[in-house]
Amino acid sequence: MAQTTPDDTLALLTRLSQKPGVQSTLVLSRDTGAIVRTSGLTSNSISANPNSTQPSSSEDSTELLSNGAGRQATGIHSAEDVARLVYHFVGAAGSMIHELDESDEAKLVRVRTKKNELVIVPDAKFLLVVIHETPPA
């Protein structure tokens, strides 16, 4: 409610990305799938347009890139890959729900994997994805 300036808004995202257990965050535009913000993800196109994927966290993007090889093993992917996959996945989930009930829509998608959890909040215009570690089960 109080967050009316872009800085505050981005601070919210930054905080979210720095919460313990959170590996990466990703904000997509709902209609085109364009990446608005990411953190904790490497980007293929970072050189092409460094501003398209500013890491919200304090970590430097170049550091992310340099560690990219090592991070692949820890489940860090390229932002574009995640964006594409999630975007289509949410589209599929959305159409499923739409076909079940035309007046319905997806509000929250949580996907638990063996390694982590994706929490996806689809909204009218944007889509927020958070990948976080789950307690070892």
Partner 1 sequence: MQQRKDEILAKKAKLAELKRQREQRAKEFTASRQSIGDGSELVAPIPSRANNRADLDNLISSLVGDSRPSSAGPREPSSPAQRGSRPTSVVSAGQLSGDQSEIPSPGHEKSAPAPSLQTLSIAPLTTVYDFPASPKAEIITYSKGVQTSDVYEPQRARAKGFSDSEDDGAVSPSKSPRKKRLSRREKEREEELRQNLRREIEEELKAIQNHDVSAAETNGRANFPSRLLTNEELNAVTSSIDFQGFVDRSTKVIERALEQEYDILADYAVDGLGAVDDDELGASTGRRGRRVKEVAQFWDERWSKKRMISDLNFSPKFPELVLASYTKNPSAPHDPDGLIQVWNLHMHERPEYVFHAQSDILTARFSPFHPNFIIGGCYSGQVLLWDTRAKSAPVQKTPLTGSGHTHPIYSIDIVGTQNANNIISCSTDGVVCGWSVDMLSQPQEYLELQTPQPAKSEEMAPTCIAFPQSDPTYFLAGTEEGSIHPCHRYDRAGAKAGVDTRISYRGHAAPVMSLDFHPARGKIDLGDLVLSSSLDWSVKLWKARPPAAAAGSAAAGSAGAGGGPGGAGGGDGGGGVGAHVAAQPLMEIGREDLVYDARWSPVKPGVFALVDGAGALEIWDLTVEVEVPVAKTKPSARGTLGGGASSSNSSYMAQSLNKCSWEPHEGKRIAVGGLEGVVSVFEVGAELGGVEGTKQEEWAEVKKMVTRLDQVMGNGGGEHGR
Which of 19, 31, 63, 75 lies at the binding interface for partner 1 (CB under 8 A)? 19
Should residue 70 be labelled a site residue for partner 1 when binding is judged by CB under 8 A?
no
Which of 15, 75, 95, 96 lies at the binding interface for partner 1 (CB under 8 A)? 15
- At its nearest, how many Å lie between partner 1 and the CB of residue 100? 22
- At its nearest, how many Å lie between partner 1 and the CB of residue 38? 12
The string of DSSP codes covering the chain is ----SHHHHHHHHHHHHHSTTEEEEEEEETTT--EEEEES-B-TTTTT-GGGG-BSSSS-HHHHHHTHHHHHHTT--BHHHHHHHHHHHHHHHHHHHHHH-TT-----EEEE-SSEEEEEEE-SSEEEEEEEE----
User: Residues interacting with partner 1, by CB under 8 A?
Assistant: 1-4, 6, 9-13, 15-16, 19, 21-22, 27, 29, 32-37, 45, 48-49, 51-52, 80, 83-84, 88, 108, 110, 112, 119, 121, 123-126, 128, 130, 132, 134-137
